[in-house]
Structure 1
């Protein structure tokens, strides 16, 4: 967070922040104070929009709610996003400036001044032939300068575009699992926080699916790591085929995968998970030449639904517990979180 208020302004903002925190029973921890100070300062419009939406819904600012606000807007991923956004805006500005320079030409003003001086020479009785010669010479010099400038501007524009492309490649690489092509856990965690905040603001449902490949170690030990990699890629393709719209599928770690399903209730999340399970179990893993088969790959899945105001960690813990219930009950199955833990809307 960066602020530039004077001492008196900062004191006023601090008083307003503390007053709002008292009104909404927000504990005055450093992180919470930072969030509410940023809100009243008006320097973080997205944060203010999120808080205003929660206030309009009479949402209770529980510990989970406060934690998500801080992590979403001021956590490490939020800072990374801010740096990236700023970099992109700077690049866009540079491109626009270069385009305007290309269209207008920086020599126009100087050239116009010289033309005016030539006009004065003629009006004062100067030699017309000499004036015309000088005008032609200056015109040619301006043309050459502009041609050189055009080349330099073109090179600068290309350099900026190359930089933009490189930065985007680096950003995608940092958020992607290199083996499977799915998002990695870092992106999964950050996107889940964003989706949970949106679900809280909009009053929408959200579910998480955890998936774990059955007997994956057996594949590696029996057929080697190359075959294990094929299994991971097969699972990734299956998840990509099933995920739609705003869904986020990621390799969570090792042989475990996660999917965020925004706007999805438990019933539909279970249907999604079952579809993934059936698709994967229906595929046969073969050698490259197709001469032999390693058999089918199965996966155990657990599903949980977000409960308004809870910390994201609780949502993930319930999905993880459901996943291990699937493992415990025989594998190759889908299990929902315990019925008594379901939100009322999902249980009805």
Structure 2
């Protein structure tokens, strides 16, 4: 029990230290920054600790770029599932609270036993000295009980505050871990999770999902001609369009740069093509304008590639086939939808 209590305190303390470290150095609360901060405070990665300590000694700002460098150097390969440790820490606090409540219950039972003993003694004697002793014993037990209950109240209040704070922060970290910050769509990790979830049911029903990969045509030219702000605006507009066109369990993700992905669970190639073609037409009709004067800057088009999951494929296989179809769309004139057809 002592060892478990020590472990709970240790994990909770590390979590507090990591959150405090992020606040002290004005670090952006994104998953990689949280992971590096937590590992720094935990102290298991000696080289990571030395590198960050040296930066602090040299009064170097702890920027997102610096943290990304430390992550690549010392923690590359660190799986996102490590964030689950934070949830375990939260559960440990709950366990600690439950333990405190159990102890209070034992104290109440002990107090109840003391009262019964005093009652029995009162029934047996009315001697003045004995009565005084019984009253004194009751007062002592009552005082001890009051102290125990006050301690429990303080512990519960503190634990509730900790839990609320950690839940808020962990909810933010969890969402950010699977969300693209520019568009609000799923990121690669979020897409991977959605594909895995879809396949978990599709493997039973054999009604497999389709994957659409799409990107903005001539996006580099857009950035070079009009600047990155306009490029970002085009990305956001496309993301908003995808959100409006999809429904149900469909998942839209920003796959990287100007490339997006759409997962259509339990959808055949014909219906996936209809979805893709509808999105292509909607995007083609959009007008990208300047924010200050609403002057039309350019008209955006997209190219789309579609593949459907086949039995015994890996997720990477599915992505590669959709990517091949995408490049076929781009190599045959752009602004079109291409289905990857398996050649027999």
TM-score, normalising length: structure 2? 0.67
Whole-angstrom CA distance in 1 between matches of 2:114 and 2:316: 71
Whole-angstrom CA distance in 2 between matches of 1:218 and 1:249: 25
Structure 1 residues 140, 275: CA separation in 2 closer, same or farther (over 3 Å shift)? farther
Q: Residue 95 in 1 paired to residue 98 in 2?
A: no
Tell me how far 1:117 sits from its aligned partner. 4.0
Whole-angstrom CA distance in 2 between matches of 1:135 and 1:313: 73
Whole-angstrom CA distance in 2 between matches of 1:175 and 1:307: 26
Whole-angstrom CA distance in 2 between matches of 1:282 and 1:151: 62
Give the match for residue 105 of structure 1. 104
Within the candidate set 244, 249, 254, 1:251 is matched to 254
SS state at 2:313 partner? coil
Whole-angstrom CA distance in 1 between matches of 2:159 and 2:315: 45
Structure 1 residues 152, 101: CA separation in 2 closer, same or farther (over 3 Å shift)? closer
Tell me how far 1:199 sits from its aligned partner. 2.1
Higher relative contact order (CA 8 A, sep 6+): 1
Within the candidate set 234, 238, 256, 2:237 is matched to 234
Q: Residue 281 in 1 paired to residue 284 in 2?
A: yes
Whole-angstrom CA distance in 1 between matches of 2:83 and 2:92: 14
SS state at 1:178 partner? coil
Residues 102 and 150 of structure 1 are in contact (CA less than 8 Å); yes or no, is this contact kept in structure 2? no
Q: Residue 210 in 1 paired to residue 213 in 2?
A: yes
Give the match for residue 332 of structure 1. 335
Pick which of 210-219 and 124-133 moved more.
Answer: 124-133
Whole-angstrom CA distance in 2 between matches of 1:244 and 1:234: 18
Give the match for residue 172 of structure 1. 175
SS state at 1:331 partner? coil
Give the match for residue 196 of structure 1. 199
Give the match for residue 264 of structure 2. 261
Tell me how far 1:111 sits from its aligned partner. 1.6
Whole-angstrom CA distance in 2 between matches of 1:312 and 1:130: 78
Tell me how far 1:159 sits from its aligned partner. 0.5
Residues 185 and 250 of structure 1 are in contact (CA less than 8 Å); yes or no, is this contact kept in structure 2? yes
Give the match for residue 156 of structure 2. 153
In the alignment, structure 1 segments of 5+ residues that lack a partner are 1-75, 342-348
**Count of matched residue positions in the alignment of Structure 1 and Structure 2:** 264
Pick which of 312-321 and 126-135 moved more.
Answer: 126-135
Residues 97 and 155 of structure 2 are in contact (CA less than 8 Å); yes or no, is this contact kept in structure 1? no
Cα RMSD (Å) of the superposition? 2.9
Whole-angstrom CA distance in 2 between matches of 1:251 and 1:243: 14
Q: After superposition, what is the alpha-carbon deviation per residue over 1:2-28, rounded to whole angstroms, capped at 9, x for unaligned?
A: xxxxxxxxxxxxxxxxxxxxxxxxxxx
Tell me how far 1:220 sits from its aligned partner. 0.8
Residues 298 and 332 of structure 1 are in contact (CA less than 8 Å); yes or no, is this contact kept in structure 2? yes
Residues 205 and 306 of structure 1 are in contact (CA less than 8 Å); yes or no, is this contact kept in structure 2? yes
SS state at 2:260 partner? strand
In the alignment, structure 2 segments of 5+ residues that lack a partner are 1-76
Q: After superposition, what is the alpha-carbon deviation per residue over 1:197-221, rounded to whole angstroms, capped at 9, x for unaligned?
A: 4322331121000001011112111
SS state at 1:211 partner? strand
Structure 1 residues 180, 308: CA separation in 2 closer, same or farther (over 3 Å shift)? same
Structure 1 residues 144, 311: CA separation in 2 closer, same or farther (over 3 Å shift)? closer
TM-score, normalising length: structure 1? 0.66
Residues 249 and 265 of structure 2 are in contact (CA less than 8 Å); yes or no, is this contact kept in structure 1? yes
Q: After superposition, what is the alpha-carbon deviation per residue over 1:303-333, rounded to whole angstroms, capped at 9, x for unaligned?
A: 1111112233332222112111221222222
